[in-house]
Amino acid sequence: MQLVVARIGRAHGIKGEVTVEVRTDEPELRLGPGAVLATDPASTGPLTIETGRVHSGRLLLRFEGVRDRTGAEALRNTLLIAEVDPEELPEDEDEYYDHQLMDLDIVTKDGIEVGRITEISHLPSQDLFIVERPDGSEVMIPFVEAIVTEIDLEEQRAIIDPPPGLIDDRAEIVSARDDEDPSGDEA
């Protein structure tokens, strides 16, 4: 099975290095020197990692055959794809591969069906489940422990405890002005 493990960013310097947006919790395993990765678009790959290093908190990679800034810039926005055994699981029991979460049913802690995960969006701050509701509409659910309280792969469901307004329109709007005297006089 193929998993997207990174997206190539801009060129760094003049010797063919690129920044990468890491999309794996195991970069040392997937993005180490010697790793051969498929690409999307396929025409730019496969790419073999020659060197890797961290600079100012960003991972920089150099690929075999890419020796200058022009070659590095040509790779910008390319997705790097690793071949992974479908039976392989992440090292941490609270981590999941996207393919494990796709098509899970989303149910509230009260047993109310919300929908089914159709997409997982990886944002810089957090991941989001894109959930298709039974009526065909979509709702986005942040994949954070406070909201997604349990992932049950055997039952093929994720249990959520959504705050008011996340999956319905019953949000409670609270304002400090509600506590003030409308005349402006203090009591």
pLDDT tens for each residue of 118-134: 988 877 778 889 899 98
Contact between residue 21 and residue 60 where contact means Cβ atoms under 8 Å apart: no
**Amino acid symbol at 65:** G
pLDDT tens string 81-103: 888 776 666 666 677 777 788 88
H or E element: which one contains 29? Answer: helix 27-30
What share of the chain in percent tops pLDDT 90?
Answer: 34
Sorting pLDDT into bands at 50, 70 and 90, what band is 175?
low
Residue 59, classified by CB atoms within 10 Å of its CB into exposed (0-12), middle (13-18) or buried (19+), is middle
Sorting pLDDT into bands at 50, 70 and 90, what band is 184?
low
User: Scanning the structure block, which residue is given the tokens 């801009």?
Assistant: 10
For residue 181, pLDDT over 70 is answered with no
Do you know the residue count of the chain?
Answer: 187
- Estimate to the nearest angstrom the gap between the alpha carbon of 77 and the chain centroid: 16
For residue 171, pLDDT over 50 is answered with no
Q: Kindly give the pairing relationship between strand 47-55 and strand 58-63.
A: antiparallel
- CA-derived radius of gyration, the chain: 22
- Cα 51 from Cα 185, distance rounded (Å): 69
Q: Higher confidence at residue 180 or residue 153?
A: 153
Q: Higher confidence at residue 84 or residue 65?
A: 65
Count of beta carbons in the 10 Å neighbourhood of residue 90:
13
Range in 104-108, 121-125, 144-148 the model is least confident about: 121-125
Task: Read off the pTM.
Answer: 0.56
Contact between residue 54 and residue 60 where contact means Cβ atoms under 8 Å apart: yes
**Amino acid symbol at 178:** D
For residue 111, pLDDT over 80 is answered with yes
User: Closest by alpha carbon to 143, among 90, 95, 111?
Assistant: 95
Range in 17-21, 26-30, 57-61 the model is least confident about: 26-30
Q: Kindly give the pairing relationship between strand 157-160 and strand 79-83.
A: unpaired
How many angstroms separate the Cα of 117 from the Cα of each of 37, 95, 107, 130, 139? 27, 17, 11, 6, 10
What share of the chain in percent tops pLDDT 70?
Answer: 83
